[in-house]
């Protein structure tokens, strides 16, 4: 009898839902039984401000440690939480088809951002969102907020906040799209690199499992797009919580499939930003990302970004 694959997940409702979807896809595609194993991460159990927790990887490291210790066979992450540097002994085996990567508003009384009165309290834990929302000049007051989807939306329902900004992908996976009052156009607010995508990791030494997960779960278009976005982030030397937005799409060009990417690097107050777009071959997402990042750096991207403020956008 084949032993069930142990799928490591964080404890939040969103994380367990995402991991459950992956586990079901593994079983459907391979016939292998799976079981979810909950792993507590520092970002989950420590209520201190994320800025004090060390930033990049606070929602990822414990799952990776469980992989390397042989406690789980597969780890499921929100891809935007992954550090851009690779982890020794661990392979990104699959990036499944991406959900809609855009940000959304959940506001009182069904309001959009533009309809909120001046001075309205809008919650977000993301420096990227703060920078881009400040640049819109709407007169809203942005308030730092932590917690899972339920916690954040509850602050709107209770009247503590007038609105919160979340990732559409999380609400889609939780079946809560009807609570959205506005979907933000990426022209206004570019999502985080990798937003809407999942990352499926396993031990590099489990080569048979790596190949199996890639065959069953990996989506080449999604992987190319997020690789391009994360290359921009890495080349800008910015952490996953930096005020950097990027979104790549696979489009049909004259010579076949191409990648088209747009990105922004902002000051935290949104007063200054470097925006660029570019395109290149679908077959080389790293080079497309590097080229765009180099242009942004030449335009002063490093000068406008303030030091990285550790945070995470998981579940938002």
Catalytic residue among 44, 65, 73, 81: 81
User: What number of other Cβ atoms are within 10 A of residue 149's Cβ?
Assistant: 23
Q: Report d(CA 185, CA 168) in Å as an integer.
A: 12
Strand arrangement, sheet containing 141-143: 141-143, 121-123, 163-167, 103-107, 182-183
Whether 81 is catalytic? yes
Q: Which residues are catalytic?
A: 81
């Amino acid at each position: 009898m084949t032993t069930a694959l142990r799928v490591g997940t964080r404890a939040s409702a969103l994380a367990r839902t995402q991991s459950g979807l992956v586990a079901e896809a593994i079983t459907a595609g391979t016939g292998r039984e799976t079981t979810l194993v909950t792993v507590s991460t520092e970002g989950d159990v420590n209520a201190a401000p994320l800025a004090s927790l060390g930033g990049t990887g606070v929602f990822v490291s414990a799952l990776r440690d469980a992989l390397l210790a042989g406690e789980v066979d597969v780890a499921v992450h929100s891809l935007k939480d992954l550090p851009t540097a690779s982890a020794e002994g661990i392979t990104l085996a699959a990036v499944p088809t991406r959900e809609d990567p855009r940000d959304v508003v959940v506001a009182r009384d069904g309001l959009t951002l533009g309809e909120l009165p001046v001075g309205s309290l809008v919650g977000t834990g993301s420096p990227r969102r703060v920078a881009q929302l400040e640049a819109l000049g709407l007169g809203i007051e942005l308030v730092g907020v932590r917690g899972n989807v339920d916690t954040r939306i509850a602050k709107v329902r209770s009247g503590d906040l007038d609105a919160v900004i979340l990732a559409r992908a999380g609400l889609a996976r939780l079946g809560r799209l009807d609570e959205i009052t506005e979907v933000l156009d990426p022209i206004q607010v570019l999502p985080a690199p990798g937003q809407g995508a999942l990352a499926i990791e396993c031990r590099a030494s489990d080569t048979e499992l790596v190949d199996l997960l890639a065959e069953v779960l990996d989506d080449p278009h999604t992987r190319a797009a997020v690789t391009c976005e994360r290359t921009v982030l890495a080349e800008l030397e910015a952490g996953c919580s930096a005020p950097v937005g990027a979104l790549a799409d696979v489009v049909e060009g004259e010579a076949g499939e191409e990648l088209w990417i747009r990105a922004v690097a902002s000051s935290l107050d949104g007063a200054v930003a470097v925006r660029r777009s570019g395109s290149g071959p679908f077959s080389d997402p790293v080079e497309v990302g590097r080229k765009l990042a180099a242009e942004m750096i030449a335009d002063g991207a490093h000068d406008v970004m303030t030091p990285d403020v550790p945070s995470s956008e998981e579940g938002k």
